[in-house]
Structure 1
Amino acid sequence: MFRPLPIFIGARYTRAKRRNHFISFISLTSMIGLALGVLAMIVVLSVMNGFQKEMRSRILGMVSHATLSAEQPLDDWRRVADVALKHPQVVGAVPFAELEGMLSFKGMMQPVQINGIDPNEETKVSIIGQHMVQGALNSLQPGESGIVIGEITARRFRLNVGDKLTLIVPEVSSAPGGITPRMQRFSVVGVFKVGAELDNSLALVNIADASAIQRLPEGHVQSVRIALKDLFLAPEVSKQIVAELGQGYRADDWTHTQGSLFSAMKMEKTMIGLLLLLIVAVAAFNIIATLIMVVADKRADIAILRTLGATPRQIMAVFMVQGSVIGVIGTLIGTVLGVISALNVSTWIAALERISGRQIFSSDVYFVSYLPSELQLGDVLLICGAALVLSFLATLYPAWRAAQTHPAEALRYE
């Protein structure tokens, strides 16, 4: 079978047992280092993807993807909801109210965001019902002054279902200063835990109670909350719905409140990826040292090939093939091991916790009680491509040095 001369000789040099075992050892370490670098990048980026997915599903599963409101309180929120539901991206539209206040209990105070919801409709747009640890969301009945608080708030105030606390809400008035506090007693009817900062800063009341606190006419609501199939389309979709609703309506979306958090997480993933790429770069540039020593060891062979008619370009291609083989094998091994590890790291950590009897990811400290991992094809292809490119670039200088070898000089002392 015909094979080009550079590929034949380069592959033969890779397989052959060299006289200098140190060169063989350096080649092996370069290959292992490259494999470990690729393995580490795939596993770490997959774990970061897993944490981002958990954060996205938990935090953005609780906050509004987008809200629709008008200059005046909505007197017919169902009409607005019907218009929103006609959009193919919208999967739910429910009445919604949002206000800021302070929770007070036995002299302790804490700022809180109060969301007014319809407990019968909330499951269409939120995951809150899946994360109740005490009580039930349906206990928020209109006119009964019930409140659902986060687990951190309940733990800080040492509250349980049935306990009462005070909600203090600022209200514009004609008094000096323009603002007076308005206080109302609420009874805790439920506690939720999503494992994020929302456990400390969010509380839920019935939409009717929220409207009463805001002194809205009966049947009026502040806004309509919508949930989308693809939450990253929230700015575009909300603008389209507002345009269909007509003059006087406006929209807000999650990118205004939570966008900075996810931008920071994306930046963190990028920076960690670049730092891990240095491991791959170090392993790839070990190939330079390996090939330089191989070129020095093969000077006589190079000279003989040149005298037999081999061109400098063919000599250069021989050592580029040899270095590329090391890079391809190391990248392939690292990719296979990295994919296997990324798919099973959650199971392995859980098994380690069972064997050691200790919980590495305690739910009291971390917002998830396990190590999540999500393998993405794009990450794997990007890592493999970067490793192969660095490996190829590492072959250029030694191969060029080999092509500059003069036959007469190389054979003078042979």
Structure 2
Amino acid sequence: MLLYAATFPYRPHCMFRPLELFIGLRYARARRRSQFISFISVVSIVCITISVMALITVMSVMNGFDYQLRSRILGAVSHVTISAYPGEALPAWQQDLAEVRKLPHVVGAAPYLELQSFLAGRGSTGAQIRGVDPAIEPQVSAFNAHMVTGQFQSLQPGSWHILLGNDLATKLGLAVGDKVLVVIPRMHSSPLTGSLPVTRSFTVSGIYALGMEEYDANMALIDIHDAEALQGIHGPGGIRVQLDDMNRAAQVARQLQNGLGPQVFVSTWMDDNSNFFSALAMEKKVMFIILSLIVLVAVINLVSMLMMLVTDKQAEIAILRTLGSTPRSIMGTFMVQGVLVGVVGIALGVSLGCLLSWQVPAIVKLIERIFHVTFLSPDVYYISEVPSRLDPVDVLAVAVVTFLFALLATIYPAWRASRTQPAQALRYE
């Protein structure tokens, strides 16, 4: 077949194809004398397919966890936070709030005041209390969308109502309608009692479950006017800002810091959680590198297949050389063979990987139902389902890396084929 293609290379249907590509594709469609080489070719395609599929699926699952964690963290943490000095009210906060809302990319802004406290019910624990304005707080957080019992709008000035995270309510042994004693580490004096911390009894009017332990177990919400009364100040301690694109947080933060001056601090969600998200990004990169090594191992089968093919086709290579084919042409012909196997494996792997990534949550649920197991127990993990989020950039990266591995795998066997000496190869033919 190689001799036939080299003898008649200028047929009309191949006028616009390079000779090496024509010979390689024509030979790929031909029946081979060695069934073992064909078997190795199939094995190479299967190995590349499985490795590409596994890499895409793992990357999609990691993207899913990353997205879930970001969504849950940003349900309580705003994109940009403007804060005053600890224990002080934000100066001219109403004017600052109006200016913030005029900025481009700002979709919401709301005042807040945070207090350190000690809560006592049937149990006791320390917690952070955040004073919010229930009318506009949904613009910057998702607490209202994660209420388990009670109503978010029950927070009203002077009502002395409090919302607890579900884990915090469990620690305190409280439910909706129960009383909780709030102790604030701000000392006040009287002639009879001396210096005592500020205490106040609140009524639990709701319980939320945001899905992050940091907020479900350590945070409570009250009305911002009640928080100001406990802290003994007039005005909020800061402003929380929500953007239409969280990736613009640093840009907007710089603009706010320059506009508001040094009397306030401006931070972003990335500043508050930089170590956590940096660890996630590093873990994703490491997993990509490790699983890329699996792709590399799969591509080694391609080297074996091409080496056996070169040995099997010594006579045909010699005839092509005697007909005028250059070593470069011979090398290109065998590289086409290897790249073709790699492209087929990549195409199948990408197709199956995308399909598997799309169906991972359903497949995991099916396995759990059949074998009566739970991979992510809700009692242990805050994300109780295996998430998956397919990213086209990751799919492209996997395909490109695998193609480069396949291309590199063809170089040595093709080079060995190009070094074939016609006289030596035809000696025993």
The answer, yes or no, to whether TM exceeds 0.5 is yes
Tell me how many residue pairs correspond in the alignment.
407
Give me the whole-angstrom Cα distance separating, in 2, the residues matched to 1:315 and 1:44: 39
Instruction: Choose which of 202, 209, 215 in structure 2 pairs with 1:193.
Output: 209
Asked if the contact 1:87/1:241 (under 8 Å) is kept, the reply is: no
Distance in 1 separating the partners of 2:183 and 2:31: 81
**Structure 2 counterpart of 1:39, from 53, 77, 80:** 53
Aligned pairs for 1:8-407 (under 5 A) are 8-70=22-84, 72-74=88-90, 76-106=92-122, 108-171=123-186, 181-197=197-213, 198-217=215-234, 220-246=235-261, 248-353=263-368, 360-407=375-422
The offset of 1:134, in angstroms, is 1.1
Structure 2 CA distance for partners of 1:145 and 1:25, relative to 1, 3 Å = same
Deviations 1:210-249 (A, max 9, x none): 11222103xx221111111122222221221232234633
Summarize the Cα distance change of 1:165–1:294 in structure 2 as closer, same or farther, 3 Å threshold.
same
15-24 or 304-313: which moved more? 15-24
Describe the SS at the equivalent of 2:382: coil
Q: Give 1:323 deviation, angstroms.
A: 0.2
Q: What is the alpha-carbon distance in structure 2 between the residues aligned to residue 234 and residue 180 of structure 1?
A: 41
Equivalents in 1 of 2:250, 2:202: separation in Å? 35
C-alpha distance in structure 2 between counterparts of 1:141 and 1:255, whole Å: 32
Q: C-alpha separation between the residues in 2 aligned to 1:169 and 1:21?
A: 81
1:372 is paired with a residue of what secondary structure? coil
CA displacement at 1:99 relative to structure 2: 2.4
Deviates more, 1:281-290 or 1:340-349: 340-349
Deviations 1:351-395 (A, max 9, x none): 445556665444333323433222111111111111111100000
- Name the stretch that deviates more: 193-202 or 359-368: 359-368
Aligned sequence identity (%): 44
Task: Give the aligned partner of residue 6 of structure 2.
Answer: none
CA contact (8 A) 1:51 1:373 kept: yes
Of residues 229-238 and 329-338 in structure 1, the stretch that sits farther from structure 2 once superposed is: 229-238
2-side partners of 1:139 and 1:240: how far apart? 35
In 2, the alpha carbon distance for the partners of 1:375 and 1:293 equals: 38
CA deviations over 1:272-315 (Å, ceiling 9, x no partner): 11111111111112211111111111111111111121111111
Task: Detail structure 1 runs of 4+ shifted over 6 Å in the superposition.
Answer: none
Structure 2 counterpart of 1:80, one-letter code:
D
Q: Tell which deviates more after alignment, 253-262 or 299-308.
A: 253-262
**Which stretch of structure 1 is more off in the superposition, 45-54 or 328-337?**
45-54
Q: Is the CA contact 1:302–1:405 (under 8 Å) kept in the aligned structure 2?
A: yes
Whichever residue aligns with residue 170 of structure 1, its letter is: P
**Aligned equivalents of 1:155, 1:16: Cα separation in 2:** 71
- Per-residue CA deviation, residues 309-344 of structure 1 (Å, 9 max, x unaligned), is 111111111110000000000001111111122223
- Which residue identity is paired with 1:7? L
Partners of 1:6 and 1:33 in 2: CA distance: 26
Q: C-alpha distance in 2, partners of 1:204/1:284?
A: 56
Contact 2:188 2:198 in 1 (8 A): no
Q: Which amino acid aligns with 2:27?
A: Y
